[in-house]
Amino acid sequence: MKAKQDWIEKEKKNAALEAVKHVKDGFIVGLGSGSTAAYAIEEIGKRIKHEALRVLGVPTSYQALLLAVSTESK
């Protein structure tokens, strides 16, 4: 069962990373909820830091907001 869960998490992360490749400077991005969204939020935070990417994130939950703020400040 663990191998299946690992595979699923890996695929969720891959999906999030692929989606974040399409985010461009000046975009308005919906920051959803759930584990796949969390991977995307973390990757967007890395891009903001390393590429000086400017995006406006609209969180769908308080947890998404907290993750976005904590990711940006790392």
The model's pTM is 0.90
Question: How many helices (H) and strands (E) would you count in the chain?
Answer: 3, 2
Distance of CA 7 to CAs 10, 56, 63, Å?
5, 31, 25
| Beta carbons within 10 angstroms of residue 15's beta carbon | 13
Phi, psi of 57 (to 5 degrees): -100, 135
Each residue's pLDDT tens digit, 27-59: 999 999 999 999 999 999 999 999 999 999 999
- List domains and CATH numbers for the chain: 2-72 (3.40.50.1360)
Q: What is the chain's mean pLDDT, rounded? A: 93
